[in-house]
């Protein structure tokens, strides 16, 4: 796998929830408390069921996500071969979509990206084959795949009804089907997590908001440029030269609706201005490239010029994707998961069962330990999130106030660079254990960060 030994802390969050679900039958981060720190409910269900059979290890989750990516790649090529006027055009278009370096990378980390891609493709397939009722119902269930897809699902369901020129009675039926799907989606969230939707977005907006006001917009534009600039240039080239027919397989309206969705999520991310991950590429940008090239291949006439344009697009996109993957490759060789497991066994496991350990690196620590974990970001901790919602806390005072409010007994500083943690945090504490964890965030290269476990309340 491209990602090698590297791991995602978010994948370990899925695994912690799966551990507790398989142990107690309750999907929760800390046993005895309810929280909804799962971004993709459907991916959690699939992963937990797989873990029950194959074991709840990071390797199982990685290979599961990679297998979904293979299914997506094959299904995409098959769809384009079915609707395109030429097999060569279909293959070139499919390759152009698949040269998304971010979806490729994240689809072998144990995360939900490949499931997101398959879900988007499924909706498009249902529309192409005029299974409008099934497509509308699938659109209503998309929030279970990723919450942001609720917007694309609503736009696409509306497009489907409009495109098919349905009778008023039929539109009413489709609206009812969509409503049933939305209710089912909410019911699954409530049944599993006792919440209407994940709390992750709210936590990121509160804690991971960036000081640079242009940060999120710039990041989204960079991601969009890498993934979609060349595919959309190809789509625009063909859209300007070929007119659609009344019985078009992929309507311009669906493409425009998807474009509106992409612009919306870009602007929403810019407004919230919290930390942006390349993982968002699949949910934010892939719908546009997939629908756009599906729209294009149904209109491309078999000419040397058409094939040349697609071939040039593929070569250029392959160059861009390769450059991105080469740049991020060193980070995939860092085995932070093993280092964190060692830190947990040496520092966390000896602590008493009553210990409450606060940290921002919650996923891996929680997976490798059965201790109570206080999430200082609030991604998986409902009490932390509620405190941040109801109290105006300065950034500099946030850790100290949360440690006191959550009555943590220990604090892990994953970026310890000095011995003045007590002064920096503002609470009496003493270092009781430390360890080195290899990290690589690409921009600064590989480093061995000094993780320190502090006991709180001791002068």
Q: Are residues 285 and 398 in the same domain?
A: no
* Token pair recorded at residue 130: 């005029």
- Residues 118, 223, single domain; the answer is yes
CB 117 within 8 A of CB 74: no
Q: Look at residue 116 and tell me whether its pLDDT is greater than 60.
A: yes
Judgement on whether residues 85 and 177 belong to the same structural domain of the protein: yes
Res 250: pLDDT: 72
Which of 282, 311, 332 is where one domain is finished?
332
Asked, for residue 87, whether it belongs to a domain, the answer is yes
Residue 456, beta-bridge partner list:
429
Sign of CA pseudo-dihedral 183, 46, 27, 407: negative
Angle between helices 132-141 and 168-193 (to 10 degrees): 30
Domain membership flag for residue 17: yes
Tell which of 268, 303, 332 closes a domain. 332
247 is a domain residue: yes
Task: Compare 454 and 395 and report the one with higher pLDDT.
Answer: 454
Least confident segment among 189-193, 298-302, 346-350: 298-302
Give the per-residue SS3 of 342-391: HHHHHHHCCCCCCCEEEECCHHHHHHHCCCEEEECCCCCCHHHHHHHHHC
Range in 56-60, 348-352, 363-367 the model is least confident about = 363-367
- Tell me how many domains the chain contains: 2
Mean pLDDT of the 81-93 span? 90
Comparing C-alpha atoms, which of 443, 449, 437, 20 is closest to residue 219?
443
User: Do 188 and 94 share a domain, yes or no?
Assistant: yes
Same domain, 446 and 326: no
- 391 vs 141, residue with greater confidence: 141
Mean pLDDT on 74-102:
93
DSSP 22-69: HHHS---SSTT------S-HHHHHHHHHHHHHH-S-HHHHHHHHHHHH
Average pLDDT of the chain is 88
Which residues neighbour 371 within 8 Å (Cβ) at sequence distance 6 or greater?
348, 351, 353, 355, 356, 357
What are 389-426's pLDDT values in tens digits?
888 877 778 888 999 899 999 999 877 655 556 566 66
Considering the domain boundaries, does residue 206 fall inside one? yes
Q: What domain range includes position 400?
A: 336-456
Kindly state the percentage of the chain with pLDDT values over 70. 90
Q: 442: helix, coil or strand?
A: coil
Which residue is listed with tokens 């949360």? Answer: 402
Instruction: Kindly state the helix (H) or strand (E) to which residue 90 belongs, with its residue range.
Output: helix 87-98
* CA dist., res. 273 & res. 213, Å (int): 7
301-337 burial code (b ≥16 CB/10 A, e <16): eeeeebeebbeebbebbbebbeebbeebbebbebebb
- Of 332, 358, 380, the residue at which a domain comes to its end is 332
User: Do 309 and 349 have their domain in common?
Assistant: no
Decide if 99 contacts 120 (C-beta within 8 A): no
Cα 148 to Cα 276: distance, rounded to the nearest angstrom: 14
Q: Read off the tokens for 251.
A: 């309507």
| Residue 2 maps to a domain | no
* Per-residue model confidence as pLDDT tens digits over 355-381: 999 998 888 899 999 999 999 999 999
23 pLDDT higher than 80 = yes
Confidence class for position 444, pLDDT limits 50, 70, 90: very low
Name the phi and psi angles at 334, rounded to 5.
-95, 120
User: Which residues, at least 6 apart from 250, have a Cβ–Cβ distance to it below 8 Å?
Assistant: 83, 124, 127, 128, 291, 294, 295, 298
Q: Does residue 4 sit within a domain?
A: no
Q: Which of 337, 340, 454 is nearest to 399 (CA)?
A: 454
In a shared domain, residues 340 and 328: no
At 448, is the secondary structure helix, strand, or coil?
Answer: strand
Distance CA 139, CA 178 (A): 8
Which two tokens mark 313?
A: 């697009």
Instruction: Select the more confidently predicted residue: 242 or 386.
Output: 386
415 and 287 belong to one structural domain: no
Give CA–CA dist 279/112, Å, rounded.
Answer: 9
Nearest to 266 by CA among 98, 152, 136, 116: 152
Q: Are residues 325 and 370 in the same domain?
A: no
Token pair 């791991």 is found at 7
For 318-340, what is the mean pLDDT? 86
Interatomic CA distance for residues 261 and 271, integer angstroms: 15
**Strand-strand pairing, 446-456 and 429-440:** antiparallel
Region of poorest pLDDT, from 142-156, 198-212, 265-279, 385-399: 385-399
Residue 212 has pLDDT above 90, yes or no: yes
**Would you say residue 1 lies in a domain?**
no
Q: How confident is the model at residue 166 (pLDDT cuts 50, 70, 90)?
A: low
Confidence of residue 70 (pLDDT cuts 50, 70, 90): very high
Shared-domain flag, residues 154 and 209: yes
Q: Are 139 and 91 contained in the same domain?
A: yes
Name which of 3-12, 357-366, 434-443 the model is least confident about.
Answer: 434-443
pTM: 0.92
As a whole number of Å, the CA-based R_g of the chain is 24
Residue 163 has pLDDT above 80, yes or no: no
Q: What is the CATH number of the domain that holds 343?
A: 3.40.190
Asked whether 99 and 139 are in contact (CB, 8 A), the reply is no
Assess contact for 13 and 377: CB atoms under 8 A.
no
**CA distances for 308 relative to 168, 244, 435, angstroms:** 45, 22, 55
Residue 414 lies in a domain: yes
Examine the domain organization and report whether 82 and 177 are in the same domain.
Answer: yes
Instruction: Identify the residue whose tokens are 């993934």.
Output: 227
């Amino acid at each position: 796998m491209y990602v090698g030994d590297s791991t995602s802390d978010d994948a370990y969050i899925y695994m912690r929830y799966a551990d507790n679900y398989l142990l107690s039958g309750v999907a929760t981060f800390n046993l005895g408390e309810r929280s909804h720190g799962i971004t993709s409910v459907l991916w959690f269900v699939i992963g937990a069921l797989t873990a029950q059979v194959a074991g709840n290890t990071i390797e199982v989750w990685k290979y599961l996500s990679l297998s979904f990516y293979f299914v997506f790649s094959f299904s995409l090529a098959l769809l384009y071969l079915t609707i395109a006027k030429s097999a060569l055009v279909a293959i070139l278009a499919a390759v152009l979509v698949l040269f998304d370096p971010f979806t490729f990378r994240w689809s072998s980390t144990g995360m939900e990206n490949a499931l997101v891609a398959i879900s988007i493709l499924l909706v498009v397939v249902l529309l192409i084959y005029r299974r409008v009722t099934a497509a509308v119902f699938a659109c209503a269930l998309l929030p279970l795949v990723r919450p942001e897809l609720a917007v694309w699902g609503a736009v696409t369901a509306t497009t489907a009804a409009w495109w098919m020129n349905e009778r008023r009675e039929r539109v009413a039926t489709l609206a009812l089907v969509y409503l049933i799907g939305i209710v089912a989606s909410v019911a699954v969230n409530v049944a599993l997590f006792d919440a209407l939707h994940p709390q992750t977005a709210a936590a990121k907006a509160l804690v991971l908001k960036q000081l640079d006001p242009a940060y999120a917009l710039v990041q989204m534009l960079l991601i969009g440029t890498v993934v979609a600039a060349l595919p959309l240039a190809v789509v625009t080239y063909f859209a300007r030269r070929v007119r659609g027919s009344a019985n078009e397989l992929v309507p311009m309206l669906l493409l425009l609706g998807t474009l509106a969705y992409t612009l919306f999520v870009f602007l929403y991310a810019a407004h919230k201005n919290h930390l942006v991950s390349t993982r968002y590429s699949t949910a934010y940008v892939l719908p546009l490239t997939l629908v756009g090239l599906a729209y294009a291949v149904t209109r491309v006439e078999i000419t040397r010029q058409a094939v040349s344009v697609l071939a040039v697009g593929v070569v250029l996109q392959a160059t861009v994707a390769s450059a991105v993957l080469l740049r991020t490759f060193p980070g995939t060789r860092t085995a932070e998961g093993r280092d964190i497991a060692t830190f947990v066994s040496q520092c966390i496991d000896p602590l008493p069962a009553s210990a409450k350990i606060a940290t921002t690196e919650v996923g891996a620590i929680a997976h490798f330990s059965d201790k109570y974990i206080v999430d200082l970001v609030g991604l998986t901790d409902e009490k932390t999130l509620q405190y941040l919602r109801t109290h105006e806390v300065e950034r500099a005072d946030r850790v100290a106030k949360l440690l006191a409010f959550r009555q943590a007994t220990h604090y892990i500083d994953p970026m310890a660079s000095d011995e003045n943690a007590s002064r920096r945090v503002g609470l009496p504490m003493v270092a009781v254990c430390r360890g080195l964890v290899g990290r690589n965030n690409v921009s600064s290269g590989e480093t061995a960060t000094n993780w320190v476990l502090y006991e709180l309340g001791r002068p």
